[in-house]
A and B are shown apart, each in its own frame.
Chain A
Amino acid sequence: MILEPQKRISVKALTVWRISGAIKIAISWILAGVAIYLLHIFKGPFWISPLLIAIELISSYFIIYLLPSLRWKRWRYEVREEEIELQEGIFIVKRTLIPMVRVQHVDTVQGPILRNYQLASVIINTAATAHEIPALEESEAEELRRFISNLARVADEDV
């Protein structure tokens, strides 16, 4: 589009997304298992079970393997003196431009899986919106948070 942002998020993000995808998929496998079991007991139509299994298989492939890598390949960000630029999205590519003067505050967030891999997400809040940069190296996230909040403080335009 217009000069892609340059920085990528941590490669470990892939692993994290695969793990959390696997957890979600595992839950849906359990649900599917229960459904198949119930169908068996109540003598529901036979064709539903293989269909369920097929859907589960396909979505496993998508959620654990394909989507995380597509998502990672697309994710770019760049934080400059006066603005932040983000690019994300799998089928729909979304580009976001946030002027530094609009940033209200910055958070870093770390769930259990992220913590295990020494990663953290940075959430940038403006008066109207919130934007997340997922899965950065802990040190980088911390640095980014400092950098942004310093710059945001300098240029304080009221709403």
Chain B
Amino acid sequence: MSEPKRLHPIVIVLTIGKRVKDFIFSFIALFFIWNKGDGGKLLLFGASAIVIIGIILISILSWLRYTYRLEENELRIEYGVFVRKKRYIPLERIQSLDISEGILQRLCGMVKVRIETAGGSGTDEAEAVLSAISKSEARYIQEYVAVAKNPSVPDIEDVQEPSNHTVFKMTSAQLILLSLTSGGVGVVISAVLAFFSQLDDFIPYEKLFRGVGQLAVSNMIVIAIFVFIGFVAAWIVALFGTMLKYANFQVAKTEHDLVISQGLLEKRQITIPLTRIQAIRINENIVRQWLGYGSVMVESAGGSASNKEGSKVLLLPLVKLQDIEKILGPVLTDYRFASNFTPVPKRAMNRYVFRSWIIIVPLAVASIVFLKGWGLLSLLILALVTIWGVLKYKDAGWRLEEQQLSLRYRTMVRTTVFIKKSKLQVLELKESYFQRRKDLVTLEAFVKVGFGGAGGRVSDMDRNDVKKVYTWFSRESEKRD
């Protein structure tokens, strides 16, 4: 396949869409600036026409110029309208191929292939996207890459099918529970609020609400109802968003990879090579924890700065905690998903509570001083924050196995992270003057995840416990003792 190939022409539409999206705000701004008098209007239409024609032309040209081919064990992509660019990616450098289908791609029976490399350079230059190619073509590339990376495998067909077994399949009940308990709701609500506050200048709220206003100002309940309806609507939007995204969620294991497929309207397929997995993370938000559920994420070394999703992938969106071992144990054989953790010592509790107070106590004092009666409400927040601090203390814990370090801690959600010794990059211990007096040390572990690092951190562990972890990680501790 050394012939340079083009993508499907539907890419032109995609590119136009994307560029128009980039321009839309300048369009709107221009509209408000120039939409005064006839001269302005003429100017406006002229400028818009030129920009739109320009966008269309450039989109067509960039489609014409974009070619790819597989040659000499490299994926060679050439593109660029004004500046010609060539990107040659050695096949063995390719970490994974993500295949997804947007609505437009599906209409033409095409797929989008995203090629992930190790992303060491940290820029988006590290990856390539073939926005629309046929499914058979995508499969061909997949197989070609698999063979190039693994020359010992004789026949491609054999690799693809037989060793492929399903690890996990989400049921509709789980999907609904997932959507109900997802944190996406908050995001949507804040987005909606931000949107309306931005539009303040353009939409004449005062006129709109003048009629309503007389009614409403005297009647706070009406406003409350409106707000409530707004929240419920936002929640339902988020609910359906999550459902669409995670419908048909399925995890399969092939010989060397985990393959995750998901999505109803936009299908996505993510391939994670087992050897690239750096850590396994379990997140439980407060509702899910209460119900005994959590979500499992895989942190892998793939991905790049522009595609953070590539490195932190949801493996099990929603699962009962006690089932994790059963589901993942056979797949990730070298991980131990134990749940009994050594807690941090009792004397650390004061520090956890105190830390949660640092910001809120001055605020509470200030609001009581300045707001008098209403300021007392801040005591409620103080109580909540205190409970939070105690929860953080209760959840903090660690566990050490011969080849694995497991840390548990809470930020907003409770996080449990499992790290293999061979994937642990750097270990850091921190102690402040006050910690030193109580023989407490904060432990932080770093792994490589995509661009930059991630890991886990447990505050205020017992000094002797930290010492154990430290000697466990140190390769020369035996020599020194």
Do A and B share a complex?
yes
Question: A92–B448 Cα gap in the complex (Å)?
Answer: 25
The answer for the CA separation of A118 and B426 in the assembled complex, in Å, is 30
Chain A 80-97, CB within 8 Å of chain B: the 1/0 string?
Answer: 111100000101111111
- Among B28-36, B51-59, B345-353, B472-480, the one that faces the other chain is B472-480
A89–B426 touching, CB < 8 Å: no
Q: Does B432 contact A (CB under 8 A)?
A: yes
Min CB gap B160→A, angstroms:
25
Give the distance to chain B from A87, nearest Cβ to Cβ, in Å: 9
How far apart sit A96 and B453, CA to CA, in the bound complex (Å)? 15
State which of B431, B463, B473 has its C-beta within 8 Å of the C-beta of A93. Answer: B431
B268-290 residues with Cβ-Cβ distance < 8 A to A are 275-276, 278
Chain B residues with CB under 8 A of A96: 426-429
Contact: A128 with B446, CB < 8 Å?
Answer: yes
Provide the B451-472 mask, 1 if CB < 8 A to any CB of A, else 0: 0111100000001000100110
Judged by a CB distance under 8 angstroms, whether B425 is at the interface is yes
Chain B window 424-450, contacts with chain A (Cβ cutoff 8 Å), 1 for yes, 0 for no: 011111111100100001000011110
Chain B CB count within 10 A is highest, among A81, A83, A99, A131, for A99
A95 to B426, CA, bound (A): 10
Contact A128 B454 (CB under 8 A): yes
Q: Identify the closest chain A residue to B433 (Cβ).
A: A91
Contact pattern, B 101-128, Cβ under 8 Å of A = 1, otherwise 0: 0000000000000000010100000000
State A22–B278 Cα separation when bound (angstroms): 44
Contact A128 B448 (CB under 8 A): yes
Which chain A residues border B447 with CB–CB below 8 Å? Answer: 128
Q: Which residues of B contact A154 (CB under 8 A)?
A: none
A144 touches B (CB below 8 Å): no
Which chain A residues border B305 with CB–CB below 8 Å?
A: none
Q: Is the CB of A81 within 8 A of B433?
A: no
* A1–B429 CB distance below 8 A: yes
Q: Is A1's CB under 8 angstroms from B431's CB?
A: yes
What is the bound-complex CA distance between A19 and B471, given in angstroms? 39
| A3 close to B (CB within 8 Å) | yes
A58 at the interface (CB under 8 A from B): no
Contact residues in A for B120 (Cβ distance below 8 Å):
127
Q: How far is the CA of A42 from the CA of B234 in the complex (A)?
A: 50
Contact A82 B470, beta carbon cutoff 8 Å:
no
Is B301 among interface residues, defined by CB-CB distance under 8 A? yes
Asked whether, in the complex, the Cβ of A97 is within 8 Å of the Cβ of B433, the reply is no
Cα distance A159–B474 in the bound complex, in angstroms: 18
Q: Kindly name the residue among B301, B426, B433, B436 whose own CB sees the greatest number of chain A CB atoms within 10 A.
A: B426
Instruction: Point out the residues of chain B lying under 8 angstroms from A128, CB to CB.
Output: 425-426, 446-449, 452-455
Cβ contact within 8 Å between B448 and A159: yes
Which A residues between 103 and 159 are near B, CB-CB below 8 angstroms?
A: 126-129, 131, 157-159
Q: How far is the CB of B262 from chain A (nearest CB, A)?
A: 26
Q: Write out the residue numbers on chain B whose beta carbons fall within 8 Å of the beta carbon of A41.
A: none
Whether a CB of chain A sits under 8 angstroms from the CB of B422 is yes
Min Cβ gap A128→B in Å is 3
Q: How far is the CA of A94 from the CA of B455 in the complex (A)?
A: 17
The number of inter-chain residue pairs (CB within 8 angstroms) is: 82
**In the bound complex, what is the Cα–Cα distance between A95 and B453 (angstroms)?**
18
- A92, B453: Cβ atoms under 8 Å? no
Q: How long is the Cα–Cα vector from A83 to B441 in the complex, in angstroms? A: 21
Task: Say yes or no: A83-B476 contact (C-beta < 8 A), given A127-B301, A128-B446.
Answer: yes
Asked if A2 is at the interface (CB within 8 A of a chain B CB), the reply is yes
Residue of A nearest to B467 (CB): A2
- Residues on the B chain within 8 Å of A127, using CB: 120, 301, 425, 448, 453
Which residues of the partner chain B approach A81 to less than 8 Å between Cβ atoms? Answer: 476
A61 → chain B closest CB, angstroms: 20
A81 to B475, CA, bound (A): 9
Q: Which residue of A lies closest to B278 (CB)?
A: A159
Complex: A129 Cα to B445 Cα, angstroms: 11
Chain B residues contacting A1 (CB-CB under 8 Å) are 429, 431, 441, 463, 467
Q: Which residue of B lies closest to A89 (CB)?
A: B430
A94 touches B470 (CB 8 A): no
**CA separation between A114 and B181, bound complex, in Å?**
55
B154 to chain A minimum Cβ distance, whole angstroms, is 25
Q: How far is the CB of A11 from chain B (nearest CB, A)?
A: 25
Cβ B467 vs Cβ A91 within 8 A = no
Contact A159 B428 (CB under 8 A): no
A126 to B476, CA, bound (A): 19
Chain A residues near B426 (CB-CB < 8 A): 96-98, 102, 126, 128-129, 131
Q: Which of A81, A89, A93, A97 has the most CB of B within 10 A?
A: A97
Q: Given A127-B301, A127-B425, A157-B422, is A94 in contact with B453 using a C-beta cutoff of 8 Å?
A: no
Report how far A100 CA is from B475 CA in the complex, Å: 9
A94-B428 contact, Cβ under 8 Å, with A81-B476, A128-B455: yes
- Write out the residue numbers on chain B whose beta carbons fall within 8 Å of the beta carbon of A80: 476
A6 CB, nearest partner CB in chain B, Å: 11
What A residues does B463 contact at CB under 8 A? 1
Tell me if A83 and B474 are in contact (CB < 8 A): yes
Chain B contacts to A: CB under 8 angstroms: 118, 120, 275-276, 278, 301, 422-423, 425-433, 436, 441, 446-449, 452-455, 463, 467, 470-471, 473-476, 480
Q: Which 7 A-B pairs have the closest CB atoms?
A: A128-B453, A127-B448, A82-B475, A95-B429, A128-B448, A128-B425, A92-B432
| Listed A/B pairs (21) with beta-carbon separation below 8 Å | A1-B429, A2-B467, A2-B471, A83-B474, A92-B430, A92-B432, A93-B436, A95-B470, A96-B426, A96-B427, A96-B429, A97-B473, A102-B425, A126-B425, A126-B426, A126-B446, A127-B301, A128-B447, A128-B455, A159-B278, A159-B301
Q: A98-B425, A128-B448, A131-B426 are known contacts; what are 14 more A-B pairs with Cβ within 8 Å?
A: A1-B467, A2-B470, A3-B480, A82-B475, A83-B475, A93-B430, A95-B428, A99-B475, A126-B426, A128-B452, A129-B425, A129-B446, A157-B422, A159-B423
